[in-house]
Homo-oligomer: A and B are copies of this chain.
Amino acid sequence: MKRFDLSLYLVTDRGLSLGRPLESIVEEAVKGGVTMVQLREKDCSSLEFYELGQKLKKLLSPLNIPLIINDRLDIALAVDADGLHIGQNDLPWKVARQLLGPDKILGLSVETQQQVEEANSLDIDYIGVSPVFATPTKTDTFQPFGLEGLKDACRISQFPAVAIGGINASNAASIIEHGAQGIAVVSAISSAESPLAAAKDLKERIQQIEIR
């Protein structure tokens, strides 16, 4: 049985970390209550990606916080990460599942309601509803789902859903209210003056909804 908690999911981006080392952002974020971490790095060598993965694995593993690698299945295998997150332009889910094995977490980004439906027949573990709001972080995306679209997606999906895109303290609670299991954030934590305080604040806003 795979156990993971999507509620506060940090997606890394060194470009948005205000020059601070990735490990310190992640370390603070985890102290603030982050429940999962996705290493997403687009412009680095495989060696650098691998070394970052190793560092995060060492940091997160003792805390039982899953480390998920974005896109790069080889890095996920090389650092024995807890899982892989793929998008629609990454390796096909079937290939990814076959090489990862059944015990690893496999997440898939969905960008339309049709993709939410299609995902229901796949051997994956969660969906990433992307983007829920317009965002400057990713530019190659479809129309945002919006809160009503997110609600529909969560209703249709047989998998737990984490929402991503433009989420911050002001709208975090509404994401959970509309059916998502969690929020995935990039800049709301990585660009915060205090990643720890930002994570803690987001966590409290989510928990207030969860305990209602």
* A residues at B contact (CB < 8 Å): 45-48, 50, 71-75, 77-78, 86, 88-92, 95, 99
Tell me the bound Cα distance from A48 to B87 in angstroms.
13
Residues of B within 8 A of A71 (CB): 46
Minimum Cβ distance to chain B for residue A51 (Å): 9
Report A38 CB to chain B, min CB distance, Å.
16
Report chain B residues within 8 Å CB of A95: 50, 78
What residue in chain B is nearest A84 (Cβ atoms)? B74
Are B48 and A89 in contact (CB-based, < 8 A)?
A: yes
* 4 smallest beta-carbon distances between A and B, as pairs: A74-B74, A73-B74, A45-B89, A46-B90
Q: Which of B45, B46, B78, B91 contacts A78 (CB 8 A)?
A: B91
CB distance from A134 to the nearest CB of B (A): 22
Q: Would you call B99 and A45 a contact (CB within 8 A)?
A: no
What distance in Å separates the Cβ of A127 from its nearest Cβ neighbour in chain B? 18
Question: In the assembled complex, which residues on chain B have CB atoms less than 8 Å from the CB atom of A90?
Answer: 45-47
CA distance A176 to B72 in the complex (A): 37
With contacts A74-B99, A78-B73, A99-B74 known, is A50 near B89, CB below 8 A?
A: no
Contacts of A50 in B (CB 8 A): 91-92, 95
Contacts of A45 in B (CB 8 A): 89-90
Could you tell me the distance between the alpha carbons of A133 and B74 in the complex, rounded to whole angstroms? 32
Contacts of A46 in B (CB 8 A): 71-73, 86, 89-91
In the bound complex, CA of A159 to CA of B73 (Å): 29
Option from B48, B78, B89, B92 in Cβ contact (under 8 Å) with A99? B78
Q: Which B residues lie within 8 Å of A73 (CB)?
A: 46, 74, 77-78
- Nearest Cβ on chain B to A72's Cβ, whole angstroms: 6
- C-alpha spacing A21/B209, complex, angstroms: 54
